Structures are given as C-alpha cells and as structure tokens.
Amino acid sequence: MAVQPSPGGALERQQETSSLADVVGTILDKGVVIDIFARVSLVGIELLRVDARVVVASVDTYLRFAEKANRLQLGAREPEALADVVGDIAGAGSKGVSEGKTKGALEAGAQKLQDILNPDDDEAREPARPRRRQR
C-alpha cells in the first residue's frame, strides 16, 4: 500500500490524515446521516466549523496582500519558510474575531496546528485519550 514519492518529489503524499486543517475539510458535514439517532452535541463542533470558514476577501485581506507584495524582494524566488506560514495561520486565526472566548479557542487551534505541523512532536499524532494497551 505504501507509495514511493515521485522521482522529482514534487507531490506530497498523505495516506493518513494528519492535520486538523485537512480533517475539517474532509469530514465535517460529510458522510451518512441518520436523523433518527442523536447527533451528539459536542462542545467543540462549532469551533471546528470556525476552522472550516471559507476564505472571503475583505479589507483585511487586501492589506495583507499589499504588505506581502511590499515585503517581496523581486527576483528572489525563495519558498516561504514553514515558520512564516505557521505565523500567518496563527495571525489569521486570531484576526477579525471580536469575541474573546472564540478568539482564545481559535488561537488554541492555531497552536495545535503548529504542534501538528512540527514533525518532531510525536505526541501530536496520538489521540487525546490513549488507551491502556498490553505491551
């Protein structure tokens, strides 16, 4: 089942969902629904919905694009460092949300995303409630 990367290595292959960002887009509000059964009202489900918010262009977006364009060194085509990308995500998550409670949770989400993006952190791949297992 394992697939080798292409020789050029341009394609990133993910056979297991490993980030919350991907999983939210993949499973939220998708799959079979049987209305007769309770859908459990999970405390965090609305926050997942916020994670899945559709990108809508706004003045904030425009100002961010302008800033990006200004920072850009023309001629220097270097891929953005992962740290910058994560910084952008954390910034975007806390921007434009006025309610303190939601904002805090969003920042926690961005933090979690940083944890998951950090490949050194094996714990990010473990579920919240590790089961006792026989060794």
Partner 1 sequence: MNDTQHNSWIYGVVPAGASLKELERRPGLPEVWLVETSDLAAIVGDEPAQDASATREQALVHARVLEAAIVDAPVVPFRFGTVVAGGDEEVGTELLKGYRDQLSQLLARFEDYVQMTVKVSYHDDVVLQEIIESQPEIAELREQARGDEDLTRAVRIRLGELINAALEQTRALDANDILEELRPEAAAVAADPPETEFMVVNAPLLIKRARVQEFEAVVERLADEREERMHFTLLGPMPAFSFIDVQEPAWASSPS
- Using CB under 8 A, which residues numbered 100 to 129 contact partner 1? 105, 108-109, 112, 125-129
* Contact call for residues 11 and 32 (beta carbons, < 8 A): no
Tell me the Cα Rg of the chain: 19
Number of residues near partner 1 (by CB under 8 A):
71
Distance of CA 75 to the CA centre of its chain: 30
Q: Does 69 bind partner 1 (CB under 8 A)?
A: yes
Residues 14-53 close enough to bind partner 1 by CB under 8 A = 14-18, 20-40, 42-45, 47-48, 52
Give me the count of residues in the chain. Answer: 135
CB of 58 to partner 1, least distance (A): 10
The residue within the footprint of partner 1, chosen from 74, 98, 100, 135 (CB under 8 A), is 74
CB of 103 to partner 1, least distance (A): 13
Residue 112 identity = K
Place of tokens 């910034």: 91
